[in-house]
Amino acid sequence: MTESIEGHGGQLALAALKPFGVKELFTLSGGHVFPIYDAAHHGDVRIVDVRHEQSAVFAAEAVAKLQRRPGLAVLTAGPGVTNGVSAITSAHFNGAPVIVLGGRAPQFRWGAGSLQEIDHVPIMASVTKKAATVTATDDVAGALRDAAITALSPHRGPVFLDLPLDVIFSTGSGAVPAGTGITPIEPDPADVAKAAALLAAAARPVIIAGSDVYAGDAVAALREAAETLRIPVIANGMGRGSLPPEHPLCFARARRAALRGADVIAVVGTPLDFRLGFGEFGEAQVVHIVDAPGQRATHITPAVSPAGDLRLILSSLANYTGTRANHDDWVAELRVVEDAGRAAEAKELSAGTDPIKPSRIYGELRQVLDRDAVTIGDGGDFVSYAGKYLEPAMPGTWLDPGPYGCLGTGMGYAMGARITYPDRQICVLLGDGAAGFSLMDVESLARQKLPVVIVVGNNGIWGLEKHPMQAMYGYDVAAELQPGLRYDAVVEALGGAGETVEKAADLGGALRRAFDAGVPYLVNVLTDPTDAYPRSSNLA
Protein backbone atom coordinates (compact mmCIF):
# COMPACT_ATOMS: atom_id res chain seq x y z
CA MET A 1 0.00 0.00 0.00
CA THR A 2 1.35 3.41 -0.92
CA GLU A 3 0.24 6.58 0.79
CA SER A 4 0.16 9.86 -1.15
CA ILE A 5 1.23 12.85 0.87
CA GLU A 6 1.41 16.60 0.47
CA GLY A 7 3.23 19.19 2.48
CA HIS A 8 6.37 21.26 2.75
CA GLY A 9 9.82 19.72 2.34
CA GLY A 10 10.17 18.98 6.05
CA GLN A 11 6.87 17.14 6.18
CA LEU A 12 7.68 15.12 3.09
CA ALA A 13 11.10 14.19 4.48
CA LEU A 14 9.89 12.90 7.83
CA ALA A 15 6.87 11.13 6.35
CA ALA A 16 9.18 9.18 4.06
CA LEU A 17 11.29 7.99 7.01
CA LYS A 18 8.36 6.83 9.11
CA PRO A 19 8.13 3.29 7.65
CA PHE A 20 11.77 2.84 8.69
CA GLY A 21 10.96 3.46 12.34
CA VAL A 22 12.57 6.89 12.69
CA LYS A 23 11.09 8.36 15.87
CA GLU A 24 13.53 11.12 16.75
CA LEU A 25 16.00 13.51 15.20
CA PHE A 26 19.20 14.95 16.64
CA THR A 27 20.04 18.51 15.74
CA LEU A 28 21.48 21.92 16.56
CA SER A 29 19.31 24.79 15.47
CA GLY A 30 19.61 26.65 12.18
CA GLY A 31 17.03 28.46 10.11
CA HIS A 32 17.79 26.48 6.97
CA VAL A 33 16.19 23.38 8.48
CA PHE A 34 13.20 24.94 10.29
CA PRO A 35 10.63 23.09 8.13
CA ILE A 36 11.98 19.77 9.42
CA TYR A 37 11.47 20.99 12.98
CA ASP A 38 7.97 22.16 12.04
CA ALA A 39 7.13 18.70 10.74
CA ALA A 40 8.56 17.02 13.83
CA HIS A 41 6.83 19.46 16.17
CA HIS A 42 3.42 18.84 14.63
CA GLY A 43 4.07 15.14 14.07
CA ASP A 44 5.39 12.39 16.27
CA VAL A 45 9.12 12.77 15.81
CA ARG A 46 10.99 13.80 18.93
CA ILE A 47 13.49 16.63 18.58
CA VAL A 48 16.66 16.17 20.66
CA ASP A 49 19.10 19.04 20.43
CA VAL A 50 22.79 19.30 21.20
CA ARG A 51 25.60 21.82 21.65
CA HIS A 52 27.86 20.64 18.83
CA GLU A 53 26.80 18.99 15.58
CA GLN A 54 29.19 16.10 16.02
CA SER A 55 27.18 15.01 19.06
CA ALA A 56 24.00 15.01 16.95
CA VAL A 57 25.57 12.68 14.41
CA PHE A 58 27.15 10.46 17.05
CA ALA A 59 23.76 10.20 18.79
CA ALA A 60 22.14 9.24 15.49
CA GLU A 61 24.89 6.68 14.98
CA ALA A 62 24.28 5.12 18.39
CA VAL A 63 20.57 4.82 17.61
CA ALA A 64 21.38 3.32 14.21
CA LYS A 65 23.85 0.83 15.65
CA LEU A 66 21.77 -0.23 18.65
CA GLN A 67 18.38 -0.36 16.93
CA ARG A 68 19.44 -1.45 13.45
CA ARG A 69 17.35 1.24 11.81
CA PRO A 70 18.16 4.68 10.44
CA GLY A 71 19.37 7.25 12.94
CA LEU A 72 18.60 10.79 11.83
CA ALA A 73 20.70 13.92 12.30
CA VAL A 74 19.58 17.27 10.92
CA LEU A 75 22.38 19.80 10.45
CA THR A 76 22.02 23.36 9.37
CA ALA A 77 23.75 24.64 6.22
CA GLY A 78 27.50 25.26 6.02
CA PRO A 79 29.26 25.00 9.40
CA GLY A 80 26.48 22.83 10.79
CA VAL A 81 27.18 20.24 8.13
CA THR A 82 30.96 20.56 8.21
CA ASN A 83 30.97 20.20 12.02
CA GLY A 84 29.40 16.79 11.47
CA VAL A 85 32.09 15.47 9.13
CA SER A 86 34.19 13.44 11.60
CA ALA A 87 31.10 11.82 13.08
CA ILE A 88 29.69 10.96 9.65
CA THR A 89 33.06 9.45 8.79
CA SER A 90 32.87 7.32 11.94
CA ALA A 91 29.45 6.06 10.85
CA HIS A 92 30.96 5.27 7.46
CA PHE A 93 33.78 3.24 9.01
CA ASN A 94 31.29 1.55 11.34
CA GLY A 95 28.77 0.64 8.63
CA ALA A 96 26.07 2.46 10.58
CA PRO A 97 22.84 3.41 8.77
CA VAL A 98 22.86 7.11 9.61
CA ILE A 99 20.93 9.66 7.57
CA VAL A 100 22.20 13.21 7.73
CA LEU A 101 19.93 15.90 6.34
CA GLY A 102 21.62 19.21 5.71
CA GLY A 103 20.19 22.61 5.11
CA ARG A 104 21.55 24.36 2.03
CA ALA A 105 21.62 27.90 0.71
CA PRO A 106 18.82 28.62 -1.80
CA GLN A 107 19.42 27.23 -5.26
CA PHE A 108 17.50 29.98 -7.09
CA ARG A 109 20.35 32.41 -6.37
CA TRP A 110 23.19 29.89 -6.10
CA GLY A 111 26.51 31.60 -6.74
CA ALA A 112 25.36 35.03 -5.57
CA GLY A 113 26.87 34.59 -2.11
CA SER A 114 24.03 33.65 0.23
CA LEU A 115 24.81 33.04 3.89
CA GLN A 116 26.64 29.70 4.35
CA GLU A 117 26.53 28.95 0.65
CA ILE A 118 28.79 25.97 0.10
CA ASP A 119 28.35 22.76 -1.87
CA HIS A 120 28.44 20.08 0.85
CA VAL A 121 28.12 17.19 -1.55
CA PRO A 122 31.77 16.84 -2.61
CA ILE A 123 32.83 17.12 1.04
CA MET A 124 30.46 14.33 2.00
CA ALA A 125 30.88 12.10 -1.03
CA SER A 126 33.96 10.23 0.19
CA VAL A 127 32.63 9.61 3.71
CA THR A 128 29.13 8.38 2.88
CA LYS A 129 27.51 5.69 0.73
CA LYS A 130 25.72 8.45 -1.11
CA ALA A 131 25.69 12.26 -0.98
CA ALA A 132 23.31 14.37 -3.06
CA THR A 133 21.21 17.51 -3.24
CA VAL A 134 17.45 17.23 -3.57
CA THR A 135 16.57 19.84 -6.17
CA ALA A 136 12.75 19.73 -6.22
CA THR A 137 10.21 19.54 -3.41
CA ASP A 138 8.31 16.81 -5.23
CA ASP A 139 11.49 14.68 -5.08
CA VAL A 140 11.97 14.95 -1.30
CA ALA A 141 9.93 11.92 -0.20
CA GLY A 142 11.43 9.65 -2.86
CA ALA A 143 14.97 10.81 -2.12
CA LEU A 144 14.54 10.21 1.60
CA ARG A 145 13.14 6.73 1.01
CA ASP A 146 16.04 5.90 -1.27
CA ALA A 147 18.44 7.27 1.35
CA ALA A 148 17.00 4.98 4.02
CA ILE A 149 17.15 1.94 1.75
CA THR A 150 20.73 2.73 0.76
CA ALA A 151 21.77 3.26 4.38
CA LEU A 152 20.17 0.00 5.52
CA SER A 153 21.26 -2.23 2.64
CA PRO A 154 24.43 -4.17 3.40
CA HIS A 155 27.08 -3.08 3.60
CA ARG A 156 25.33 -0.40 5.66
CA GLY A 157 26.50 3.17 6.04
CA PRO A 158 25.57 6.83 6.15
CA VAL A 159 23.77 8.82 3.48
CA PHE A 160 23.87 12.60 3.21
CA LEU A 161 21.21 14.71 1.54
CA ASP A 162 20.95 18.47 1.56
CA LEU A 163 17.77 20.38 0.87
CA PRO A 164 18.10 23.90 -0.54
CA LEU A 165 16.17 26.56 1.35
CA ASP A 166 13.70 27.09 -1.50
CA VAL A 167 13.12 23.34 -1.87
CA ILE A 168 12.54 22.67 1.82
CA PHE A 169 10.25 25.66 2.44
CA SER A 170 8.08 25.00 -0.64
CA THR A 171 5.19 22.59 -0.73
CA GLY A 172 4.89 19.57 -2.95
CA SER A 173 3.74 15.98 -2.95
CA GLY A 174 5.20 12.52 -2.68
CA ALA A 175 4.46 8.85 -2.23
CA VAL A 176 5.28 6.76 0.83
CA PRO A 177 5.11 3.03 0.22
CA ALA A 178 4.56 0.86 3.30
CA GLY A 179 7.47 -1.34 4.38
CA THR A 180 11.16 -0.91 3.82
CA GLY A 181 11.80 -2.90 0.66
CA ILE A 182 15.17 -4.27 1.72
CA THR A 183 16.05 -7.67 0.30
CA PRO A 184 18.79 -9.91 1.68
CA ILE A 185 21.84 -10.60 -0.47
CA GLU A 186 21.97 -14.33 -1.30
CA PRO A 187 25.47 -15.72 -0.82
CA ASP A 188 27.03 -18.01 -3.40
CA PRO A 189 26.19 -21.51 -2.05
CA ALA A 190 29.52 -22.89 -3.27
CA ASP A 191 31.40 -20.34 -1.14
CA VAL A 192 29.30 -21.17 1.89
CA ALA A 193 29.78 -24.92 1.39
CA LYS A 194 33.56 -24.48 1.12
CA ALA A 195 33.64 -22.35 4.27
CA ALA A 196 31.57 -24.91 6.18
CA ALA A 197 33.75 -27.79 5.03
CA LEU A 198 36.95 -25.96 6.01
CA LEU A 199 35.66 -25.11 9.47
CA ALA A 200 34.22 -28.54 10.14
CA ALA A 201 37.36 -30.36 9.02
CA ALA A 202 39.72 -28.03 10.90
CA ALA A 203 41.51 -29.35 13.94
CA ARG A 204 41.72 -25.96 15.65
CA PRO A 205 39.13 -23.56 14.22
CA VAL A 206 38.28 -20.13 15.60
CA ILE A 207 35.48 -17.69 14.80
CA ILE A 208 35.99 -13.96 15.18
CA ALA A 209 32.63 -12.20 15.33
CA GLY A 210 32.52 -8.49 14.49
CA SER A 211 30.03 -5.66 14.45
CA ASP A 212 28.11 -6.73 11.36
CA VAL A 213 26.98 -9.87 13.17
CA TYR A 214 24.94 -7.58 15.40
CA ALA A 215 24.09 -5.12 12.61
CA GLY A 216 22.85 -7.98 10.45
CA ASP A 217 20.76 -9.41 13.31
CA ALA A 218 22.73 -12.62 12.99
CA VAL A 219 23.65 -13.20 16.63
CA ALA A 220 21.37 -16.23 17.03
CA ALA A 221 22.68 -17.76 13.80
CA LEU A 222 26.26 -17.18 14.95
CA ARG A 223 25.61 -18.92 18.22
CA GLU A 224 23.97 -21.84 16.45
CA ALA A 225 26.87 -22.19 14.02
CA ALA A 226 29.44 -22.05 16.83
CA GLU A 227 27.53 -24.56 18.94
CA THR A 228 26.83 -27.13 16.23
CA LEU A 229 30.37 -27.00 14.87
CA ARG A 230 31.85 -26.53 18.37
CA ILE A 231 34.08 -23.61 17.46
CA PRO A 232 35.53 -21.12 19.96
CA VAL A 233 34.31 -17.55 19.40
CA ILE A 234 36.21 -14.33 19.96
CA ALA A 235 34.33 -11.07 19.47
CA ASN A 236 35.25 -7.53 18.60
CA GLY A 237 33.30 -4.28 18.22
CA MET A 238 29.58 -4.78 18.45
CA GLY A 239 30.08 -8.51 18.08
CA ARG A 240 31.00 -8.45 21.77
CA GLY A 241 28.32 -10.05 23.92
CA SER A 242 27.11 -12.28 21.06
CA LEU A 243 27.97 -15.13 23.37
CA PRO A 244 27.74 -14.37 27.09
CA PRO A 245 31.06 -14.58 28.94
CA GLU A 246 30.01 -17.73 30.77
CA HIS A 247 29.32 -19.57 27.50
CA PRO A 248 31.75 -22.51 27.06
CA LEU A 249 32.69 -21.30 23.57
CA CYS A 250 33.20 -17.62 24.48
CA PHE A 251 36.85 -16.59 24.71
CA ALA A 252 38.53 -13.26 25.33
CA ARG A 253 41.73 -13.79 27.34
CA ALA A 254 42.78 -16.67 25.11
CA ARG A 255 42.64 -14.47 22.00
CA ARG A 256 46.35 -14.56 21.31
CA ALA A 257 46.66 -18.30 21.95
CA ALA A 258 43.63 -18.94 19.76
CA LEU A 259 44.92 -16.92 16.83
CA ARG A 260 48.43 -18.37 17.12
CA GLY A 261 47.27 -21.95 17.40
CA ALA A 262 44.35 -21.99 14.97
CA ASP A 263 44.49 -23.78 11.63
CA VAL A 264 41.31 -22.18 10.27
CA ILE A 265 40.09 -18.73 11.29
CA ALA A 266 36.65 -17.51 10.23
CA VAL A 267 36.39 -13.75 10.49
CA VAL A 268 32.72 -12.81 10.37
CA GLY A 269 31.28 -9.35 9.82
CA THR A 270 34.39 -7.26 10.32
CA PRO A 271 37.20 -6.17 8.01
CA LEU A 272 40.65 -7.74 8.10
CA ASP A 273 42.11 -4.47 9.32
CA PHE A 274 44.72 -3.37 11.87
CA ARG A 275 42.57 -4.71 14.71
CA LEU A 276 43.11 -8.20 13.32
CA GLY A 277 46.73 -7.90 12.24
CA PHE A 278 45.47 -7.17 8.70
CA GLY A 279 44.27 -10.76 8.44
CA GLU A 280 47.80 -12.20 8.45
CA PHE A 281 47.49 -15.22 10.72
CA GLY A 282 50.61 -17.21 9.85
CA GLU A 283 49.83 -20.68 8.58
CA ALA A 284 46.12 -20.54 9.39
CA GLN A 285 43.64 -20.52 6.52
CA VAL A 286 41.33 -17.54 6.60
CA VAL A 287 37.61 -17.67 5.87
CA HIS A 288 36.34 -14.12 5.54
CA ILE A 289 32.55 -13.93 5.83
CA VAL A 290 31.20 -10.52 4.83
CA ASP A 291 27.76 -8.99 4.44
CA ALA A 292 28.32 -7.67 0.90
CA PRO A 293 30.82 -8.40 -1.89
CA GLY A 294 32.37 -4.93 -1.50
CA GLN A 295 33.54 -5.90 1.99
CA ARG A 296 35.86 -8.60 0.76
CA ALA A 297 39.51 -7.89 1.58
CA THR A 298 41.64 -6.77 -1.33
CA HIS A 299 45.02 -6.81 0.44
CA ILE A 300 45.05 -10.55 1.16
CA THR A 301 43.44 -13.57 -0.46
CA PRO A 302 41.44 -15.66 1.99
CA ALA A 303 40.79 -19.36 1.38
CA VAL A 304 37.19 -18.41 0.69
CA SER A 305 35.09 -15.33 1.29
CA PRO A 306 31.32 -15.89 1.31
CA ALA A 307 29.47 -12.61 0.83
CA GLY A 308 25.82 -11.99 1.62
CA ASP A 309 23.24 -11.99 4.37
CA LEU A 310 25.08 -13.08 7.50
CA ARG A 311 22.04 -14.84 8.92
CA LEU A 312 21.78 -16.99 5.81
CA ILE A 313 25.50 -17.78 5.77
CA LEU A 314 25.76 -18.59 9.47
CA SER A 315 22.57 -20.66 9.41
CA SER A 316 24.01 -22.68 6.54
CA LEU A 317 27.14 -23.30 8.61
CA ALA A 318 24.94 -24.43 11.50
CA ASN A 319 23.11 -26.86 9.21
CA TYR A 320 26.27 -28.41 7.78
CA THR A 321 25.80 -32.16 7.47
CA GLY A 322 29.26 -33.26 6.31
CA THR A 323 31.86 -34.90 8.53
CA ARG A 324 33.22 -32.90 11.41
CA ALA A 325 36.52 -33.19 13.21
CA ASN A 326 36.37 -33.30 16.96
CA HIS A 327 37.37 -29.91 18.41
CA ASP A 328 36.99 -30.82 22.07
CA ASP A 329 40.71 -30.91 22.84
CA TRP A 330 41.21 -27.54 21.19
CA VAL A 331 38.33 -25.98 23.12
CA ALA A 332 39.69 -27.48 26.35
CA GLU A 333 43.20 -26.20 25.61
CA LEU A 334 41.90 -22.65 25.13
CA ARG A 335 39.75 -22.93 28.24
CA VAL A 336 42.89 -23.50 30.31
CA VAL A 337 44.47 -20.34 28.87
CA GLU A 338 41.23 -18.39 29.34
CA ASP A 339 40.89 -19.42 32.98
CA ALA A 340 44.53 -18.63 33.70
CA GLY A 341 44.17 -15.18 32.11
CA ARG A 342 41.06 -14.54 34.13
CA ALA A 343 42.76 -15.59 37.36
CA ALA A 344 45.74 -13.35 36.63
CA GLU A 345 43.41 -10.40 36.17
CA ALA A 346 41.85 -10.71 39.59
CA LYS A 347 44.79 -8.90 41.17
CA GLU A 348 44.55 -5.99 38.73
CA LEU A 349 40.80 -5.66 39.18
CA SER A 350 41.13 -5.38 42.94
CA ALA A 351 44.36 -3.33 43.04
CA GLY A 352 44.29 -1.15 46.15
CA THR A 353 47.05 1.22 45.04
CA ASP A 354 47.24 4.94 45.58
CA PRO A 355 46.86 6.61 43.08
CA ILE A 356 44.14 4.39 41.67
CA LYS A 357 44.97 1.99 38.83
CA PRO A 358 42.45 2.17 35.98
CA SER A 359 41.94 -1.60 36.25
CA ARG A 360 40.46 -1.15 39.74
CA ILE A 361 37.74 1.10 38.30
CA TYR A 362 36.70 -1.78 36.05
CA GLY A 363 36.82 -4.19 38.96
CA GLU A 364 34.31 -1.96 40.76
CA LEU A 365 32.20 -1.37 37.66
CA ARG A 366 31.83 -5.09 37.07
CA GLN A 367 30.09 -5.28 40.42
CA VAL A 368 27.55 -2.54 39.79
CA LEU A 369 26.78 -2.92 36.08
CA ASP A 370 23.59 -4.78 35.15
CA ARG A 371 23.78 -7.45 32.46
CA ASP A 372 21.92 -5.23 30.02
CA ALA A 373 23.87 -2.04 30.82
CA VAL A 374 25.17 -0.20 27.76
CA THR A 375 28.82 0.76 28.13
CA ILE A 376 30.49 3.32 25.88
CA GLY A 377 34.21 3.86 25.47
CA ASP A 378 35.62 7.28 24.51
CA GLY A 379 39.29 7.79 25.27
CA GLY A 380 42.72 6.24 24.91
CA ASP A 381 44.32 3.86 27.41
CA PHE A 382 41.34 4.10 29.74
CA VAL A 383 39.13 2.67 27.00
CA SER A 384 41.64 -0.01 26.05
CA TYR A 385 41.24 -1.24 29.62
CA ALA A 386 37.46 -1.14 29.20
CA GLY A 387 37.81 -3.40 26.16
CA LYS A 388 39.92 -5.77 28.23
CA TYR A 389 38.09 -5.81 31.55
CA LEU A 390 34.43 -5.19 30.75
CA GLU A 391 32.64 -8.28 29.57
CA PRO A 392 29.44 -7.43 27.68
CA ALA A 393 26.93 -10.07 28.69
CA MET A 394 24.41 -9.32 25.94
CA PRO A 395 24.74 -8.35 22.30
CA GLY A 396 24.33 -4.66 21.50
CA THR A 397 25.57 -3.40 24.84
CA TRP A 398 29.05 -2.16 23.94
CA LEU A 399 29.76 0.92 21.84
CA ASP A 400 33.32 1.77 20.90
CA PRO A 401 34.34 4.34 18.28
CA GLY A 402 35.35 1.66 15.78
CA PRO A 403 38.28 1.65 13.39
CA TYR A 404 38.14 5.39 12.66
CA GLY A 405 39.11 5.88 16.32
CA CYS A 406 37.54 9.32 16.65
CA LEU A 407 37.61 10.81 20.14
CA GLY A 408 34.45 12.71 21.09
CA THR A 409 31.77 10.06 20.65
CA GLY A 410 30.98 10.00 24.40
CA MET A 411 28.01 12.27 25.03
CA GLY A 412 26.46 11.68 21.59
CA TYR A 413 26.61 7.91 21.93
CA ALA A 414 25.27 8.22 25.50
CA MET A 415 22.37 10.30 24.25
CA GLY A 416 21.50 7.80 21.54
CA ALA A 417 21.76 4.92 24.01
CA ARG A 418 19.56 6.67 26.57
CA ILE A 419 16.92 7.44 23.93
CA THR A 420 17.03 3.78 22.88
CA TYR A 421 16.84 2.36 26.41
CA PRO A 422 15.06 4.75 28.80
CA ASP A 423 15.44 2.33 31.72
CA ARG A 424 18.84 0.73 31.36
CA GLN A 425 22.14 1.76 32.90
CA ILE A 426 24.10 3.83 30.39
CA CYS A 427 27.75 4.29 31.31
CA VAL A 428 30.42 6.25 29.44
CA LEU A 429 34.06 5.39 30.11
CA LEU A 430 35.72 8.68 29.33
CA GLY A 431 39.37 9.70 29.13
CA ASP A 432 40.07 13.13 30.59
CA GLY A 433 41.42 14.19 27.21
CA ALA A 434 38.40 12.80 25.40
CA ALA A 435 36.18 14.72 27.82
CA GLY A 436 37.14 17.96 26.11
CA PHE A 437 35.40 17.02 22.88
CA SER A 438 31.88 16.52 24.15
CA LEU A 439 31.46 17.32 27.83
CA MET A 440 29.46 20.49 27.07
CA ASP A 441 26.74 18.18 25.81
CA VAL A 442 26.05 17.20 29.41
CA GLU A 443 24.00 20.40 29.26
CA SER A 444 21.87 18.83 26.52
CA LEU A 445 21.53 15.60 28.48
CA ALA A 446 20.59 17.39 31.73
CA ARG A 447 18.14 19.80 30.10
CA GLN A 448 16.37 17.03 28.21
CA LYS A 449 16.27 14.72 31.24
CA LEU A 450 18.56 12.08 29.80
CA PRO A 451 20.54 10.78 32.77
CA VAL A 452 23.73 8.85 32.11
CA VAL A 453 26.76 7.92 34.17
CA ILE A 454 30.16 9.18 33.10
CA VAL A 455 33.27 7.66 34.64
CA VAL A 456 36.41 9.66 33.88
CA GLY A 457 39.79 7.98 34.06
CA ASN A 458 41.55 11.19 35.00
CA ASN A 459 45.29 10.68 34.60
CA GLY A 460 45.97 14.32 33.67
CA ILE A 461 47.52 13.34 30.35
CA TRP A 462 46.77 12.20 26.82
CA GLY A 463 48.02 8.83 28.02
CA LEU A 464 47.80 6.90 24.79
CA GLU A 465 50.04 9.53 23.17
CA LYS A 466 52.33 10.46 26.05
CA HIS A 467 53.57 6.97 26.86
CA PRO A 468 54.31 5.97 23.25
CA MET A 469 56.05 9.30 22.60
CA GLN A 470 58.21 8.76 25.67
CA ALA A 471 59.04 5.26 24.45
CA MET A 472 59.91 6.54 20.97
CA TYR A 473 61.77 9.78 21.73
CA GLY A 474 62.58 9.71 25.43
CA TYR A 475 60.55 12.89 25.88
CA ASP A 476 57.03 14.01 25.16
CA VAL A 477 55.28 17.20 24.07
CA ALA A 478 51.64 18.18 23.66
CA ALA A 479 50.65 15.36 25.96
CA GLU A 480 49.89 17.13 29.24
CA LEU A 481 46.52 18.10 30.68
CA GLN A 482 45.87 19.82 33.99
CA PRO A 483 46.18 17.15 36.69
CA GLY A 484 43.32 16.64 39.11
CA LEU A 485 40.92 18.77 37.10
CA ARG A 486 37.36 18.76 38.49
CA TYR A 487 35.37 17.41 35.54
CA ASP A 488 32.64 16.59 38.08
CA ALA A 489 32.32 20.31 38.88
CA VAL A 490 31.88 21.01 35.17
CA VAL A 491 29.02 18.55 35.06
CA GLU A 492 27.46 20.08 38.18
CA ALA A 493 27.63 23.49 36.57
CA LEU A 494 25.86 22.12 33.52
CA GLY A 495 22.90 20.76 35.46
CA GLY A 496 24.18 17.32 36.45
CA ALA A 497 26.04 16.10 39.52
CA GLY A 498 29.20 14.24 40.38
CA GLU A 499 32.12 13.67 42.67
CA THR A 500 35.87 13.19 42.62
CA VAL A 501 37.33 9.92 43.87
CA GLU A 502 40.93 9.68 45.01
CA LYS A 503 40.87 6.45 47.03
CA ALA A 504 40.10 3.04 45.59
CA ALA A 505 37.95 2.17 48.58
CA ASP A 506 35.57 5.04 47.73
CA LEU A 507 34.90 3.89 44.17
CA GLY A 508 32.06 1.45 44.82
CA GLY A 509 29.98 3.95 46.76
CA ALA A 510 30.53 6.67 44.18
CA LEU A 511 29.43 4.40 41.33
CA ARG A 512 26.29 3.35 43.18
CA ARG A 513 25.39 6.99 43.83
CA ALA A 514 25.99 7.72 40.15
CA PHE A 515 23.56 5.07 38.91
CA ASP A 516 20.92 6.20 41.40
CA ALA A 517 21.29 9.90 40.67
CA GLY A 518 18.65 10.35 37.96
CA VAL A 519 20.71 13.16 36.38
CA PRO A 520 23.92 13.06 34.35
CA TYR A 521 26.51 12.11 36.96
CA LEU A 522 30.26 12.21 36.53
CA VAL A 523 32.58 10.15 38.70
CA ASN A 524 35.95 11.83 38.33
CA VAL A 525 38.52 9.20 39.25
CA LEU A 526 42.07 10.44 39.72
CA THR A 527 44.19 7.67 38.27
CA ASP A 528 47.87 6.83 38.15
CA PRO A 529 49.57 8.83 35.34
CA THR A 530 52.49 6.39 35.24
CA ASP A 531 50.19 3.53 34.30
CA ALA A 532 50.41 2.70 30.58
CA TYR A 533 48.26 0.15 28.79
CA PRO A 534 50.57 -2.62 27.59
CA ARG A 535 50.37 -2.64 23.81
CA SER A 536 52.51 -3.93 20.99
CA SER A 537 51.92 -1.07 18.55
CA ASN A 538 52.87 2.42 19.59
CA LEU A 539 50.83 4.44 17.14
CA ALA A 540 47.23 5.37 17.86
Which CB atom, from 54 or from 420, has the smaller least distance to ligand TPP? 54
Measured CA to CA, the distance from residue 202 to residue 327 in angstroms comes to 8
The binding track of 418-447 with respect to ligand TPP, each residue x by CB under 6 A or -, is -------------xxxx-------------
Q: Which member of 174, 431, 498, 520 binds Mg ion (CB under 5 A)?
A: 431
Give residues with Cβ within 8 angstroms of 457, minimum separation 6: 358, 361, 379, 381, 382, 385, 429, 430, 431, 432, 525, 527
Q: Does 459 bind Mg ion (CB under 5 A)?
A: yes
Could you tell me the smallest distance in angstroms from the CB atom of residue 537 to ligand TPP? 12
Q: What angle do CA 44, 181, 132 make, to 5 degrees?
A: 75
Q: Which one-letter amino acid corresponds to residue 299? A: H
Q: Does 100 bind ligand TPP (CB under 6 A)?
A: no
Q: Which one-letter amino acid corresponds to residue 367? A: Q
CB 13 within 8 A of CB 144: yes
Which CB atom, from 434 or from 490, has the smaller least distance to ligand TPP? 434
Measured CA to CA, the distance from residue 229 to residue 232 in angstroms comes to 9
Task: Measure Cα distances from 261 to 85, 279, 330 in Å.
Answer: 41, 15, 9
3-state secondary structure of 204: coil
Which CB atom, from 152 or from 461, has the smaller least distance to Mg ion? 461
Could you tell me the smallest distance in angstroms from the CB atom of residue 19 to ligand TPP? 35
Measured CA to CA, the distance from residue 472 to residue 489 in angstroms comes to 36
Q: Which member of 291, 381, 441, 488 binds ligand TPP (CB under 6 A)?
A: 381
Select from 52-60, 282-290, 459-467, 508-516 the region that touches Mg ion (CB under 5 A): 459-467
Q: Does 461 bind ligand TPP (CB under 6 A)?
A: yes
Partner whose binding site includes residue 133, from Mg ion, ligand TPP, none (CB under 5 to 8 Å by kind): none
Could you tell me the smallest distance in angstroms from the CB atom of residue 531 to ligand TPP? 9
3-state secondary structure of 124: helix
Could you tell me the smallest distance in angstroms from the CB atom of residue 462 to ligand TPP? 4
3-state secondary structure of 499: strand
Q: Which member of 53, 432, 441, 531 binds Mg ion (CB under 5 A)?
A: 432
Q: Does 187 bind ligand TPP (CB under 6 A)?
A: no
Give residues with Cβ within 8 angstroms of 93, minimum separation 6: 402, 403, 404
Q: Does 67 bind Mg ion (CB under 5 A)?
A: no
Neighbours of 122 (CB within 10 A): 9
Cα(first)–Cα(last) distance of the chain, in Å? 51
Q: Which member of 118, 394, 517, 540 binds ligand TPP (CB under 6 A)?
A: 540
Q: Which one-letter amino acid corresponds to residue 538? A: N
Q: Which member of 263, 443, 465, 528 binds ligand TPP (CB under 6 A)?
A: 465
Could you tell me the smallest distance in angstroms from the CB atom of residue 29 to ligand TPP? 24
Residues that bind Mg ion (CB under 5 A): 431-433, 459, 463
- Contact residues toward ligand TPP (CB under 6 A) are 379-382, 405-408, 431-434, 457, 459, 461-465, 540
